[in-house]
Chains A and B, each alone.
Chain A
């Protein structure tokens, strides 16, 4: 008994008879006659035909695919193809042709040129900007409602968000800013020891951390830690219709979901920045005392002498802006997230990328502003 698919072709005048037999299992190579049969039907010169089975012992959809190809090719050439197939096979073939393919349903991939793609993304910009501006406006109104005591925000949600952003971020902030202070001190020390000016490492680390690096450090870490989690959380709620459930109860998702997270980040990022500043200075202190042979008191005195209060204030103003940026990008991506698992992933990534880019751009702008204002 044959264990492979068999096809035999017999042509008499303009009549073609195709017989299939043997065992048809998916993955088994088709005999060359299969291609010949298709070619015979496609090239024409044949008016009618017969499809039949001969010693067919087992089959699966590989046979069905072959038969459907053959019948479709015959239909396209307007041939009359009679069939003498076992009942089950015949039923499946009929089913395959029962519902005609919907016109316009199949998608053709359109190749887009570079210029066209660039143009399309530029044209999409105003819409995106409009959406984001509307969101910022909604959040501003929500803050106004909060200040006038008409907000639908629950205090417990605010506290939970503050706990998540603040307390739970302490370990990672401690580690990153301590190491960052160390690195800053090392890099400075290499240059400054050449002039015997190691003591200025204290000023470099103190001013650097307080004025900008502490805030940037916290901003980047929080963007990855918290911005992403906001986007994923709100995005998943969007997928599960939980956001719709809030809306249908007349509860504003902005008040209920965005506002507590926004307020929590705006409050906690400056607090964490202060903490990060201290940890960074501690890192610099360790390098100064252990590596540069400065005495502890000397290092601390130099820090206090060179660092002024205004550096700290400037650092905190960076931090407030970063908090707002992280919250806005995280929550916005969550709120306008699509309704699939893939969309949640995309929202999360976009939230982090936008958050970090926003932080760097804001740093540049504030630094230039401070320079212009001479503070």
Chain B
């Protein structure tokens, strides 16, 4: 890694620790030696160019795919060393928003949000309905309880997916490209919602995203995956990374939309100004 670890180290144990993770399919390795920590109050961004393995890394983190090597700790627990049942219990404490929402098409929005509650709580059907309405309202979908996923727009489906991910008040929320396909205003509202949820409920976010505006607004920590070297080449707060002259070239290009490198003098100038 070319950048030092973030200056502020969290006092509490990290929510997620990833150690020397190797991810791939069969003999094909997508990413090797990935290590990072996600603190309790982090909004953690996974960045990288297309095809570098961001989504696959996210699938490994949320327990859909086994890593080829390395460990993932949720708190103190080594996730992939657990029995399948323990893993399922751990997964109940996480929520996932998939790229396309992935709502169950045979159920209404209220049933979609209510299913996790029905499975894991002893709430009465009326209470479940109440909870589902609340979560849908948080995502800006009040009044759409009885719509089927095919009857609403793509952006609404995404928000409904977020409402479902929030159903069990998870400790960790995984979002796969949350703002892709949203208009700028909705995207902004989603960013605000993420920050509010983190502050109010203490939810930790792990987000895969390309939207620079959103990255700079919400991220408190990040890693950059490089498709060429198949390693993490930059880590830290993106708004610091973009100003740091030592940031690795590909990561800097990503964060500046391919703007030419600042000359050494002007980079030093920027650093002086920011320090």
Contacts and interface: CB of A to CB of B under 8 A. Distances in A.
B103 interface: yes
Contact of B64 (A152, A154, A242, A248): A248
Contacts of B92: 249-250
A250 B89 CA distance: 7
B16 to A, nearest CB: 15
Contacts of A240: 100, 102, 105
Interface residues of A, number: 16
B139 to A, nearest CB: 16
Interface string B81-123: 0000000110110111011101111000000000110111000
B149 to A, nearest CB: 9
Interface in A119-148: none
A354 B115 CA distance: 33
Contacts of A154: 118
Nearest to A241: B102
A242 B96 contact: no
B194 interface: no
Given A152-B119, A154-B118, A247 B102 contact: no
Interface size class of B (residues with CB under 8 A): 20 to 34
A179 B96 CA distance: 52
B105 A250 contact: no
B140 interface: no
Interface in A234-257: 236-237, 240-242, 244-252
Interface string A146-163: 000000101000000000
B174 to A, nearest CB: 8
A248 B63 contact: yes
A244 B96 CA distance: 10
Contacts of A237: 104-105
B83 to A, nearest CB: 13
A241 B100 contact: yes
A240 B98 CA distance: 9
Interface of B: 59, 62-64, 88-89, 91-92, 94-96, 98-100, 102-105, 115-116, 118-120, 164, 168, 174
Interface of A: 152, 154, 236-237, 240-242, 244-252
Q: Which 3 A-B pairs have the closest CB atoms?
A: A250-B88, A241-B102, A245-B102
14 contacts: A154-B118, A237-B104, A237-B105, A242-B102, A244-B96, A244-B98, A245-B98, A248-B62, A248-B64, A248-B95, A248-B174, A249-B91, A249-B96, A249-B115
